[in-house]
């Protein structure tokens, strides 16, 4: 199975960080303290979006965290989006911006607000319950499941990795 231990997560996250540095990308590793699971990968970017129907394009700043989920034993993607005036996008606004084409009954099993496992603040989270199953389908086990996870689930919330991430072995 593709569940991973905390140590594996940490090692693969560090490897991912190295690739990011080589490619000049700006992922960072945030370390609250040395205990499990208090280290996570962090990335932020600005994205353009049309929040309302009046056609105005606004810029929002999104901070992504890739955290180890102790209960599911897989990486988990959490994020928080702010408008340029500093206000936070609530759950409904996040759904509108990131998943405009998804039926609302499905949204509750994809993207909801939850407690950040390290920072204990409310964050938007992609549900991890199928992650291990999806990673399992990858024929041979992937060499870096953290990288595989980010490239698989990131695009659902506009987090896209450059093609060159796939070149490393």
Q: Which is nearer to another protein, 23 or 93 (CB)?
A: 23
CB of 54 to another protein, least distance (A): 25
Is 129 in the active site?
Answer: yes
Q: What share of the chain is helix, strand, coil (3-state, %, to 5)?
A: 30, 30, 40
Q: Which residues contact 8 (CB under 8 A, 6 or more apart)?
A: 145
Nearest distance in Å: CB 82, another protein:
23
Rg (CA), the chain: 16
Residues contributing to the site for another protein (CB under 8 A): 106, 109-110, 127, 129-130, 133-134, 136-140, 142-144, 147-148, 151-152, 154-155, 160-161, 163-169
- Comparing CB distances to another protein, the nearer of 86 and 139 is 139
Facing residues of 91 across strands? none
In the bound state with another protein, the residue whose beta carbon lies nearer, of 17 and 119, is 17
Identify which of residues 92 and 133 has a Cβ nearer to another protein in the complex: 133
- The number of helix segments (H) and strand segments (E) in the chain equals 5, 6
CB of 43 to another protein, least distance (A): 14
Choosing from 129, 143, 162, 167, the catalytic residue is 129
CA distance 146 to 8: 9
- Give the number of other Cβ atoms within 10 Å of residue 115's Cβ: 12
**Which positions are annotated as active-site residues?**
129
């Amino acid at each position: 199975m593709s569940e991973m231990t905390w140590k594996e997560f940490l090692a693969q996250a560090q490897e991912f960080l190295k690739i990011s540095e080589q490619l000049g990308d700006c992922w960072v590793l945030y370390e609250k303290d040395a205990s499990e699971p208090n280290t996570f990968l962090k990335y932020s970017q600005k994205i353009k979006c049309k929040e309302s129907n009046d056609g105005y394009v606004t810029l929002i700043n999104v901070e992504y965290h890739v955290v180890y989920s102790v209960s599911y034993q897989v990486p988990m993607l959490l994020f928080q989006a702010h408008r340029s005036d500093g206000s936070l996008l609530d759950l409904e606004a996040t759904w509108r911006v990131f998943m405009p084409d998804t039926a609302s009954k499905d949204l509750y099993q994809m993207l909801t607000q939850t407690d950040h496992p390290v920072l204990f603040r409310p964050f938007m989270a992609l549900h991890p319950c199928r992650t291990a199953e999806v990673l399992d389908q990858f024929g041979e086990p992937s060499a870096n499941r953290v990288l595989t996870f980010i490239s698989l689930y990131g695009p659902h919330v506009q987090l896209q990795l450059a093609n060159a991430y796939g070149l490393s072995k």
